[in-house]
């Protein structure tokens, strides 16, 4: 009789997201986690391959300097560098330096060698800089171009970004545009600044008006808010219908009991 009894039954509630109980479920979960890890490993291996590949760029035969890189090289560079973290990019620069190349991927020149000496050296600008930093590049231009790419890279792990298609790395190659002077840059910045100020003022006043319960205003570029008149017409229902009397019930019908009206308590 008792043999069929499966044992004491728990009176506790089963947790909602209960753990997988059967062997198969557990196996499925383990496999899923293993696949995630495998994917991460694959991505890491791919990034390492990309580092090794890019450490020998540019591939196009005619390239002479980073001023006019071959379009195919630029496209390759952009696609391969897409998933890099800044640290991977540093590895790439170092690997290129080991190969004797300038740290910027699109530059075919050899890196600068400043000859024997100590840890520090004088840069062209007169600053004292680490020799290692200086010897990473062939010129200051390449250093700026390489760092322009580096600041666009993301610290987030590669496997979290792999699925996002709109990560686009831009390359600073302005072969035709003249280098802008300090003044140009300042003027441009000033223009942006005033424009942005005006926009901000307009936005603020609109928000304030809304908060005060005023009518929405349209902000003009000069910052003066103009009210648009709104015509309000009230439509009132003045007619009141009288309820028709039925003539069946008297005023004190409610006091009647079986056709007899009690006289008690009325006085």
Partner 1 sequence: MDEGNDARSKEVVRLWRAWRTAHEMIADRQEYELAEDEIKISLDRFRSDYCNPDGSVNRGKLQFSARPSDSMLRKNTPPKTDSDPDPTPDCGPVWVEFLSDTSFGVGQIRNFAKYIITNQYKTGIMITHGALSPAARKSLASVENLAKIECFLEEDLLVNITHHELVPRHVLLSREEKTALLKRYRLKETQLPRILQKDPVARYLGLKRGQVVKIIRTSETAGRYASYRLCV
Q: Closer CB to partner 1, residue 76 or residue 84?
A: 84
Taking the C-alpha atoms of residue 233 and residue 252, their distance in angstroms, rounded to an integer, is: 46
Q: Which residues pair with 122 in a beta bridge?
A: 128
Alpha carbon of residue 243 to chain centroid? 66
Q: Does 157 bind partner 1 (CB under 8 A)?
A: no
User: Among residues 79, 99, 140, 198, which is the contact residue for partner 1, using CB under 8 A?
Assistant: 99
How far apart are the C-alpha atoms of 67 and 109, rounded to whole Å?
11
Cβ pair 123, 132 in contact under 8 A: no
We find the least distance from the C-beta atom of residue 40 to partner 1, in angstroms, to be 14
How big is the site for partner 1, counted in residues (CB under 8 A)?
A: 13
Task: Give the number of other CB atoms < 10 A from CB of residue 173.
Answer: 15
- Write the binding mask 50 to 79 for partner 1: x where contact by CB under 8 A, - elsewhere: -xx--x------------------------
Scanning 2-10, 66-74, 97-105, 148-156 for contacts with partner 1 by CB under 8 A, the matching segment is 97-105
Binding test (CB under 8 A) with partner 1, winner from 34, 75, 98, 190: 98
DSSP, res 68 = S
Closest to partner 1 by CB, 97 or 152: 97
Separation CA 160–CA 168 (nearest Å): 15
Site of interaction with partner 1 (CB under 8 A): 45, 48, 51-52, 55, 90-92, 94-95, 97-99
């Amino acid at each position: 009789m008792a043999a069929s009894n499966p044992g004491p039954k728990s009176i506790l509630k089963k947790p909602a997201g209960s753990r997988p109980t059967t062997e198969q479920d557990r196996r499925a979960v383990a496999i899923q986690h293993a696949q995630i890890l495998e994917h991460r490993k694959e991505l890491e291996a791919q990034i390492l391959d990309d580092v090794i590949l890019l450490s020998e760029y540019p591939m196009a035969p005619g390239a002479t300097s980073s001023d006019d890189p071959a379009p195919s090289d630029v496209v390759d560079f952009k696609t391969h560098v897409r998933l890099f973290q800044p640290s991977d990019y540093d590895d790439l620069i170092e690997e290129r330096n080991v190969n004797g190349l300038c740290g910027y991927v699109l530059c075919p020149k050899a890196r600068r060698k400043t000859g024997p000496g100590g840890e520090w050296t004088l840069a062209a600008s007169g600053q004292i800089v680490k020799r290692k930093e200086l010897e990473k590049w062939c010129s200051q231009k390449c250093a700026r171009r390489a760092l322009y790419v580096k600041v666009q890279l993301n610290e987030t792990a590669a496997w979290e970004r792999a699925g996002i298609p709109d990560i686009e790395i831009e390359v600073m190659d302005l072969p035709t545009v003249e280098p802008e002077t300090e003044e140009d840059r300042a003027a441009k910045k000033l223009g942006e600044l005033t424009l942005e100020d005006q926009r901000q003022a307009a936005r603020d006043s609109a928000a304030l008006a809304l908060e005060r319960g005023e009518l929405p205003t349209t902000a003009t570029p000069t910052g003066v808010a103009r009210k648009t008149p709104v015509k309000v017409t009230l439509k009132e229902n003045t007619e009141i219908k009288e309820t028709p009397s039925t003539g069946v019930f008297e005023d004190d019908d409610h006091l009647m009991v079986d056709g007899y009206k009690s006289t008690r308590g009325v006085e």
